[in-house]
């Protein structure tokens, strides 16, 4: 990881929303992972936010519940992760940090160009599990789209840790992606197909 982070051009600011009351075991494990990443690179700046006490920051970032991780540059760019980034999902965390640190992404030109046409708020929810090898792909696309368009927010949710949300959005298989809480699809699609589904969700 130290070698991987060594070519970062930008500082990655991570806000981690921790709680001693809600999901304390999940919170402790997530905090441990983030502390370790923070310790190996000067380009990673970790700030711990008390979910139970700092309601202003919780409201500002519209955090639903802990553990929640916001990955950003100098400003909020809509990258969210709820849960422990363990198993295959550790790569999701690393990929998202890398997007900000390197300041560039690999995405088809057609998708990049079409994304500029999105002018209204879009919320992407991607439900994942640590044991799913296909989930990081869906999560990565959501975060890529959020990175290139200020109107898009990409939120990745560990389905097992947040059963209430999984029930609300009828998550029976992962990855499951929900666009603006009204259009959903299952599976790890290509960037082009994923964006087509996003357009269906906002049309």
Residues in the chain: 203
Provide the pLDDT for residue 184: 97
Average pLDDT over residues 140-145: 97
> Helices (DSSP H) in 18-88: which residue ranges?
24-39, 55-60
**Residue 65 sits in the same domain as residue 117:** no
Sheet of strand 79-82: strand arrangement = 44-50, 12-18, 68-72, 79-82, 152-158, 122-128, 176-179, 183-186
Provide the pLDDT for residue 2: 84
Last-in-domain residue among 22, 56, 73:
73
Provide the pLDDT for residue 4: 85
Last-in-domain residue among 73, 93, 124:
73
Can you give the CATH number for the domain in which 142 is found?
3.40.30.10
First to last CA, the chain: 41
> Helices (DSSP H) in 68-186: which residue ranges?
89-102, 109-115, 135-148, 163-168
**Residue 188 sits in the same domain as residue 115:** yes
Domain residue limits at 171:
109-202
Give pLDDT tens digits for 50-71: 999 999 999 999 999 999 999 9
**pTM summary value:** 0.95
Does 83 fall in a domain?
Answer: no
**Rounded Cα–Cα distance for residues 28 and 16 (Å):** 11
**Residue 117 sits in the same domain as residue 65:** no
Average pLDDT over residues 154-161: 98
**Residue 63 sits in the same domain as residue 116:** no
Provide the pLDDT for residue 6: 86
**Rounded Cα–Cα distance for residues 144 and 92 (Å):** 11
CB-based contact 121:154 (threshold 8 Å): no
Share above pLDDT 90 across residues of the chain, in percent, rounded to a whole number: 95
Does 132 fall in a domain?
Answer: yes
Provide the pLDDT for residue 7: 87
Rounded to 10 degrees, the C-alpha dihedral 22/93/73/115 comes to -110
Give pLDDT tens digits for 95-141: 999 999 999 899 999 999 999 999 999 999 999 999 999 999 999 99
Provide the pLDDT for residue 48: 98
């Amino acid at each position: 990881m130290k070698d991987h982070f060594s070519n970062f051009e930008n500082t990655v600011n991570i806000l981690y929303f921790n709680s001693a009351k809600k999901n304390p075991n999940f919170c402790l494990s997530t905090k441990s992972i983030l502390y370790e990443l923070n310790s190996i690179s000067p380009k990673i700046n970790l700030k711990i936010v008390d979910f139970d006490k700092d309601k202003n920051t919780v409201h500002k970032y519209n955090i639903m519940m802990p553990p929640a991780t916001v990955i950003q540059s100098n400003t909020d760019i809509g990258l969210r992760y709820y849960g422990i980034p363990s198993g295959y999902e550790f790569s999701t965390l690393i990929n998202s940090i890398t997007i900000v640190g390197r300041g560039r992404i690999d995405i088809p030109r057609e998708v990049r160009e079409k994304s500029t046409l999105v002018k209204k708020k879009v919320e992407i929810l991607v439900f994942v599990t640590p044991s799913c090898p296909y989930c990081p792909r869906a999560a990565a696309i959501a975060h890529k789209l959020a990175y290139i368009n200020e109107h898009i927010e990409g939120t990745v949710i560990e389905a097992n840790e947040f059963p209430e949300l999984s029930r609300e959005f009828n998550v029976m298989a992962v990855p499951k992606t929900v666009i603006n809480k009204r259009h959903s699809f299952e599976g790890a699609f290509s960037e082009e197909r994923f964006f087509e589904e996003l357009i269906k969700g906002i049309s």
